[in-house]
A and B are shown apart, each in its own frame.
Chain A
């Protein structure tokens, strides 16, 4: 599993496009192909360059979208702002899970959204 900062922009854009297409079906919005392609390119680049997201994995981004579509407070839209909201909210949940395991000493298996940090292979 790769961290986002180690992903290739093109590959990530393709994955993001699939995710956006799936999300558009889930929220029932119609988007034209040009918008979808542009959104994926922008968001893929953002995920790689943004410091707060680059240490996440793509699976976690997928989880963020999954949670956002279903439990997000605001009306969902297919735009970068909404994606940021979802990923940022999910990152907080992940950080909280990390805190609960490593600082409060809770059981890893019983802590929702906890994921072992990915170690660099040397």
Chain B
């Protein structure tokens, strides 16, 4: 039997549905794979039963479970004038996830204004003045020119990824500055020696 090597999709609604058994979820994934491959799923119960090495009844139960939870629609085509089944089609009912709803709402409400997350997608290189102003606001001692030169030499990349928020980078530098030990290693060694002398 030829197994589909096309990818399968399990949406969050299906994945976290408490009414579905794990096997029903797996079957849903299988159906999505067949739908992605052929555009529709015409596989018979026998096909699934052989594929997963289970009985036809199990497959029927899983399918019923999916139908009951309104994740799929089964359409049966009968031979004209008889009750003989010609073919059966399984169709996925696409349910938009809550996130999709949220995104759509944002677009509807703020049609002209970009949301915060969209703003971040368009990174604009800061100027020295921008950084100096932000450093003044944060009251830190970061050298703005050193910051600019550092990231300019790296094409405004952090590791392999493009910088998304330069203010966050400034804050990271600020944190690193405060973490730096105020005393050098030699100073601490000398002070340890002087304290040890007192202890003798």
Contacts and interface: CB of A to CB of B under 8 A. Distances in A.
Contacts of A32: 192
A21 B186 CA distance: 10
Nearest to B199: A37
A28 B186 CA distance: 9
A25 B188 CA distance: 10
B interface residue count range (under 10 / 10 to 19 / 20 to 34 / 35 or more): 10 to 19
Contacts of A18: 193
B189 A30 contact: yes
B192 A33 contact: yes
A37 B196 CA distance: 5
B199 to A, nearest CB: 4
Interface string A62-106: 000000000000000000000000000000000000000000000
B100 interface: no
Interface residues of A, number: 18
Interface in B55-82: none
A17 B192 contact: no
Contact of A36 (B185, B186, B188, B192): B192
A30 B193 contact: no
Contacts of B198: 33
Nearest to A24: B189
A41 B197 CA distance: 11
A8 B113 CA distance: 84
B200 A41 contact: yes
Interface string A14-47: 1001100100110010111110110011000000
A85 B122 CA distance: 64
Interface in B133-155: none
A99 B190 CA distance: 40
Nearest to A10: B200
A48 interface: no
B116 interface: no
B69 to A, nearest CB: 64
Contact of B199 (A24, A28, A31, A33): A33
Interface string B80-101: 0000000000000000000000
A56 interface: no
A10 B190 CA distance: 21
Contacts of A28: 185
B200 A30 contact: no
B195 interface: yes
Report which residue of B190, B196, B199 has the largest number of chain A beta carbons within 10 angstroms of its beta carbon. B196
Contacts of A24: 189, 192-193
Given A21-B193, A30-B192, A40 B200 contact: yes
Given A33-B199, A36-B192, 8 more contacts: A17-B197, A17-B200, A21-B192, A21-B193, A24-B193, A36-B193, A37-B197, A37-B200
